[in-house]
Amino acid sequence: MSRFESLRAEVCRVNRSLVEAGLVVLTWGNASGVDRNEGVVAIKPSGVPYEHLTPDDMIIIEIASGDVIEGKGRPSSDTPTHLHLYRAFKDIGGVVHTHSDFATSFAQAGCDIPCMGTTHADNFYGGIPCTQDMSPKEIAENYELNTGRLISSCFETRGINPINTPGILVKSHAPFAWGSSPAKALENAIVMEYAAKMCLQTLQLNPQAGEIGKALIEKHFFRKHGANAYYGQSNG
């Protein structure tokens, strides 16, 4: 029995849930999870249909080296992106990549998803950024690793906290989301897709609609997140 059995099971469950949530078709997407104590990531194998996935199919990879420790076949082609995000964002526990309809449309348009309402602000502290274009060299050499670098560079350059804004659009590509666990990363990917859908519909109804004010963003985000959060039930 693998010592990573629990991690494999959770990552498998979240990958299969991508289909149930309507975030992927065919094999367009992936989810991973990390065990920081062991220094490993579990991720789905490349190109395997979601309905066929089992926990034993999940591939265990060492974060530092990128070497496969356990598992058969090739890991997801996006593995270098996931590994870079775990290295760059030390507090995240799961990453989800999809090609969901509305968020991907914003990515293809090269547009941020502005915070148009409190549904968005409940989960993302302001707009969801879209990266710059990748250079031809970045595309030709180490494409997936450079995708991760592009993401972390966007947050650094724009001064955005990746914990408060747990997702991004890679220009001309698609969204990535993350969270404290694979399940939380899935939740944030779902929210991003709904935020993109509602943003587009809002702008169709009123092209002059703008982002909500900072006071409302802060009220809704911090009532659910941080030391002073009061939404939901206490753990006591």
Catalytic residues: 122, 231
Question: Which among 84, 72, 75, 61 has a CA at the least distance from the CA of 142?
Answer: 84
Q: Which has the closest alpha carbon to 147: 127, 132, 162, 165?
A: 132
Angle among Cα 180, 37, 61 to the nearest 5 degrees reads: 85
What is the C-alpha to C-alpha distance for residues 66 and 6, in angstroms, rounded to an integer? 21
Of the chain, the end-to-end C-alpha distance in Å amounts to: 35
In contact, 230 and 140? CB cutoff 8 Å? no
